[in-house]
Structure 1
Amino acid sequence: MKMLINVAETVVADALRGMAAAHPELTVDVDNRVIVRRDAPVAGKVGLVSGGGSGHEPLHGGFVGRGMLDAACPGEIFTSPVPDQIARAAAAVDSGAGVLFIVKNYTGDVLNFDMAAELAEDEGVQVAKVLVNDDVAVTDSLFTAGRRGTGATLFVEKIAGAAAEEGAPLERVESIARQVNASSRSFGVALAACTTPAKGSPTFDLPSGELELGIGIHGEPGRERRRMMTSGEIADFAVDAVVDDLHPRSAVIALVNGMGATPLLELYGFNAEVQRALAVRGVTVARTLVGNYVTSLDMAGASLTVCQVDEELLRLWDAPVSTPALRWGI
């Protein structure tokens, strides 16, 4: 497989050096693997910290900035950041108002963020934690016990980030983050496997003419494998999966997310089918976001995430945000 890299061992460090050069509004510590908004810590503001294995860009580093995360901790490809790294990020963004850890439900992430919280609290930092577990495809996987954390991570980071930016206290920011997670459901589909730099070949076998329904963002197996389906058929399957589990009673925000290798032409076409399928099922869409936000390296495919919102959550979603990958209202 051809890749635009030097050597596999330095892929993450090289990307961080490039990010630092492109975004002077961020402080990027390449050696310690921490990305922090340059004005952190912001006086009186709750700090938001997230992170996870690299390979899901722009998650999480691309969401550091005003109105979203205060810091992100990138691990190696598909590998959790280490506790010292996370604790260092917490110390960098703590203004005395406390820090919220936003953690995707993968075993390594959960364990390491828990240990980091203990380290941070030993240094006098008040820490709260919110677990994101929105994926309805499977209950358990190769990487986790319970549901996986996927696209809803973006919703949690954006909406809780807006509340923190407005000066909400830690308990309120945590409560909003939990509400967003509880109100969100996701389902992903793979058309082709991803390729890690270290392996240099697809991470799993997906024969030509087949697709995997319910795939995870690390290439974990899904619900079932089928012959290739049309965009409309995939949309019906994904919408059924999330709506049957969530039973939305109010409007939703819809995220049509590319897995890394699917062009926008296809994603917008898929979004048209998702909107149709949601309308048929009586679901009103208040806002829509289409693009590559929670990826899996070069995987071909897409995921759908919906978040049921009330007026307050929608207001916080619309609030100004300024990050490398998400920007409006500023």
Structure 2
Amino acid sequence: MKKLVNNPVNVVDEMVEGYVRAHPDYIKQLSSNNRALVTVRETKQNKVGILIGGGSGHEPGFMGYVGEGMADGVAVGNIFSSPSPDPILEVTKSINKESGVVYLYGNYAGDVMNFGMAAEMADLEEDIEVGMAIATDDVASAPKEEKEKRRGIAGELFIYKAAGAAADFGCNLEEVVRIARKANDHTWSMGVGTSPCYHPQTGKPSFEIGDDEMEIGLGHHGEPGLEKGPLETADKLADRLLNDILIDSGITKGDEVAVLVNGLGSTPKMDLYIVYRRVEQILSEQGIKIYCSYVGDYITSLEMGGCSVTLMKLDDELTKVMDHPVNCPMFVQK
């Protein structure tokens, strides 16, 4: 393990400090909690607040998506660990504009517990109404009929975008939650891991895998996938990931989709574009139209090797939210 850190115990706090110093025109740290970050822009009164968050190690998620058109604040947890309720509540109080706040997070036990506790505290202590939309886009993590048990992975990006746009459009809390949940219900992802990442505080790999192996369906924290096997070509890998997504989603000829090919931290963009090339070929052959596409590192896992593919099935409403301009440090769409 080789990392550019000081004391491993301080990596998250030093990262947050560096991020805030690097982007003072976008984000600021609340004095009440150093893991609570909010936008510096002046948001409209009565706009629904959008709060995202999760464990560190997924950069540019989640801090990178605080800005115009997406989130108003973020609560930062330790590496691969949920933020505690305290920073979540502090962000909630800061971004509330009298119309409530929507929490967006992945379907992990710690996040479900801590965001749920923060929502109760916001209601009881601050009289702030909170809505929630939980990402469950990972098709490899549970059967189709048990979608509510699935993990949230890179598809969370599309949920942030949908909710952020809905809030900007002036939708009320109920409508923002509905659109965010609809985005989740129309989004499917599947990934592959080719090499582990190393936790800076322990120096241990997130999972074990041979130099000539890959693991299909691996989670972003190293959770077991569907199967481990020999390393395949980019085309064969894309065929497998996309085939499972298309079967699960029912996306078919005539449908229109948004596509994300997401790197997990150490996969070169060269590789990601080769994967995207094959994804585009398959969708084109099947008569599925790509409306917009994103290729790069959007939600990572430290320096894990591998990638994921995400499809969102669009309709008029979801196309509108995907078109909405975004200006964040790590994501700009005009």
TM-score in terms of structure 1 length: 0.96
Please tell me whether residue 256 in structure 1 is matched to residue 256 in structure 2: no
Partner of 1:17: 17
Verify the 8 A CA contact 2:101 2:128 in the aligned structure 1: yes
Please tell me whether residue 301 in structure 1 is matched to residue 302 in structure 2: no
Distance 1:106 1:154 in 2: 16
Verify the 8 A CA contact 2:54 2:76 in the aligned structure 1: yes
In the TM superposition, 1:105-116 aligns within 5 A as 105-116=107-118
Distance 1:138 1:112 in 2: 22
Partner of 1:245: 248
In the TM superposition, 1:11-50 aligns within 5 A as 11-24=11-24, 25-29=26-30, 31-39=33-41, 42-50=44-52
Q: Helix, strand or coil for the counterpart of 1:148? A: coil
Structure 2: which 5+ residue stretches go unaligned? none
CA deviations over 1:178-227 (Å, ceiling 9, x no partner): 11000000001011011110121322110110000001000111000010
Distance 1:65 1:258 in 2: 22
Q: Helix, strand or coil for the counterpart of 1:316? A: helix
Partner of 2:279: 274
How far the C-alpha of 1:103 sits from its partner, in A, is 1.9
**Aligned pair partner of 1:313 in 296, 299, 318:** 318
Distance 1:32 1:77 in 2: 15
CA deviations over 1:123-156 (Å, ceiling 9, x no partner): 110111111101001219xxx9811001121001
Q: Which amino acid aligns with 2:6?
A: N
How far the C-alpha of 1:29 sits from its partner, in A, is 3.7
Partner of 1:146: 149
Distance 2:323 2:148 in 1: 33
**Aligned pair partner of 1:182 in 173, 182, 185:** 185
Q: Helix, strand or coil for the counterpart of 2:310? A: strand
How far the C-alpha of 1:67 sits from its partner, in A, is 0.3
Q: Which amino acid aligns with 2:319?
A: L
Q: Which amino acid aligns with 2:249?
A: L
TM-score in terms of structure 2 length: 0.95
Verify the 8 A CA contact 2:70 2:164 in the aligned structure 1: yes
Which segment is superposed worse, 313-322 or 74-83? 313-322
Partner of 1:162: 165
Q: Helix, strand or coil for the counterpart of 1:128? A: strand
Distance 2:136 2:48 in 1: 23
Q: Helix, strand or coil for the counterpart of 2:193? A: strand
Q: Which amino acid aligns with 1:28?
A: Q
Structure 1: which 5+ residue stretches go unaligned? none
CA-based RMSD: 1.5
Verify the 8 A CA contact 1:256 1:271 in the aligned structure 2: yes
Aligned-residue sequence identity (percent) comes to 40
How far the C-alpha of 1:100 sits from its partner, in A, is 0.4
Q: Helix, strand or coil for the counterpart of 1:185? A: strand
**Aligned pair partner of 1:97 in 96, 99, 106:** 99
Q: Helix, strand or coil for the counterpart of 1:139? A: coil
